[in-house]
Amino acid sequence: MSEKVNLNVNGLEIESDPNKLLIEACEDSGIHIPRFCWHKRLDPVGMCRMCLVEVETPRGKMLVPSCTTEVSDEMVVDTESDVVKKAQEGVLEFLLINHPLDCPICDKAGECPLQDQTMAYGPGESRFVEEKRHFEKPINISEIILLDRERCILCARCTRFSDEISGDPLIEFIQRGNKTEVNTFPNEPFKSYFSGNTVQICPVGALTSTSYRFKARPWDLKSIRSTCNGCPTGCSIELNSSQNKMLRILGVDNDAVNQGWMCDKGRYNFEYLNSDSRLKTPLKMTDNELVEIEIQDVYSELAEFIKDRQTKVNFLLGSNLTNEDYVAFREFSNTISKSERSFYLNDDLLYKGFFGENIELAKIDDLNSSDAIVVWAEDLKEKLPVLYLRIRQAVKNGVKLVVFGHTNETLSDIADVFYGKDMVSENFEILKDLSKMKEINNLVAGKNITAILGKSTPYQSDESVTKLFEFLNSNANSKVLNAYSKGNTYGAFQTLENLKGLNDFVNDISKDNTDLLFIVGADPIGRSVYSNQIKSIIKSIDTVVTLDNFNHETSELSDYVVPISSTLGEKEGTFTNIEFRTSRIDKLVPSPGQTLSDWEFITSLMNFAGLTVETNSLEDLNRKAYENLDSSLSPVFDNLDKPSNLDGMINIFNPKIAASENKLNKTMFFTGEKLYGDSATERHSDSISMLGSKKFIEVSESVAEKYNLTSGSCILAQDELEVTVSYEVNNSFPNDLVYIPTNRRELNKFDFSREIMIIPSQVKEALNVN
Partner 1 sequence: MKETLLLTKNMRDNPEDSHLIDSYEKNNGYSTAKKTILESSPEKILEEIKASNIRGRGGAGFPTGVKWGFLAEDEDRYLVINADESEPGTFKDRILLERDPHQLIEGIIITCFSANIKEAFIYIRGEYAKPARRVQQAVEQAYQKGYLGKNIFGSDVNLDIVVHLGAGAYICGEETALLNSLEGRRGEPRLKPPYFPAVKGLYMKPTLVNNVETISSVPWIIENGGKEYNKLGVEGSTGTRIFSLSGHVNNPGNYEIEMGSSFGEFVETLGGGIKNNKKVKAYIPGGASAPWFRGDQLDIKMTIDDVANNNSMLGSGAVVMMDEDTNLVSAAKSIVSFFAHESCGQCTPCREGTTWLEMILDRIASGRGRTSDMNLLLDVCDNISPGLSWPPKMTTICPLGPSAVSPITSLMNDFRDEVESLIPTKVLL
Site residues (vs partner 1, CB under 8 A): 44-50, 52, 62-63, 68-70, 83, 86-87, 89-91, 93-95, 97-98, 127-128, 130, 153-154, 173, 175-180
Helix (H) or strand (E) holding 686: helix 686-689
Nearest to 332 by CA among 308, 310, 297, 306: 306
Would you say 93 or 365 has its CB closer to partner 1?
93
Would you say 11 or 177 has its CB closer to partner 1?
177
Query: Rounded to the nearest 10 degrees, how much is the dihedral formed by the CA atoms of 181, 185, 189, 192?
Result: -80
One-character DSSP codes across 371-413: SEEEEESS-HHHHSHHHHHHHHHHHHTT-EEEEESTT-HHHHT
Three-state SS at 113: helix
Nearest to 508 by CA among 661, 344, 345: 344
| Least separation in angstroms between CB 26 and partner 1 | 18
Would you say 94 or 637 has its CB closer to partner 1?
94
Residue 743 CA: distances (Å) to CA of 15, 64, 416, 526, 749: 53, 53, 31, 9, 11
Would you say 94 or 707 has its CB closer to partner 1?
94
Please report the beta strands in 484-567, taking only residues with DSSP state E, as ranges in sequence order. 499-500, 516-520, 543-548, 560-563
Enumerate helices (H) and strands (E) in the chain, giving the number of each.
Answer: 25, 36
| Least separation in angstroms between CB 5 and partner 1 | 16
| Least separation in angstroms between CB 171 and partner 1 | 14
Would you say 180 or 665 has its CB closer to partner 1?
180
Q: Is the dihedral of CA 162, 163, 165, 168 positive or negative?
A: positive
The residues with which 750 forms a beta bridge, in sequence order, are none
| Least separation in angstroms between CB 658 and partner 1 | 53
Would you say 180 or 628 has its CB closer to partner 1?
180
Taking a C-beta distance cutoff of 8 angstroms, is the pair 339, 521 a contact?
A: no
| Least separation in angstroms between CB 59 and partner 1 | 10
Would you say 46 or 110 has its CB closer to partner 1?
46
| Least separation in angstroms between CB 738 and partner 1 | 38
Taking a C-beta distance cutoff of 8 angstroms, is the pair 382, 353 a contact?
A: no
Give the phi and the psi of residue 500 in degrees, each rounded to 5.
Answer: -130, 165
| Least separation in angstroms between CB 319 and partner 1 | 44
| Least separation in angstroms between CB 367 and partner 1 | 25
Would you say 126 or 286 has its CB closer to partner 1?
126
Would you say 50 or 547 has its CB closer to partner 1?
50
| Least separation in angstroms between CB 44 and partner 1 | 8
| Least separation in angstroms between CB 719 and partner 1 | 54
Would you say 54 or 598 has its CB closer to partner 1?
54
Cα 678 to Cα 693: distance, rounded to the nearest angstrom: 6
Query: Rounded to the nearest 10 degrees, how much is the dihedral formed by the CA atoms of 420, 425, 427, 430?
Result: -90
DSSP letter at 354 equals: S
Cα 57 to Cα 64: distance, rounded to the nearest angstrom: 11
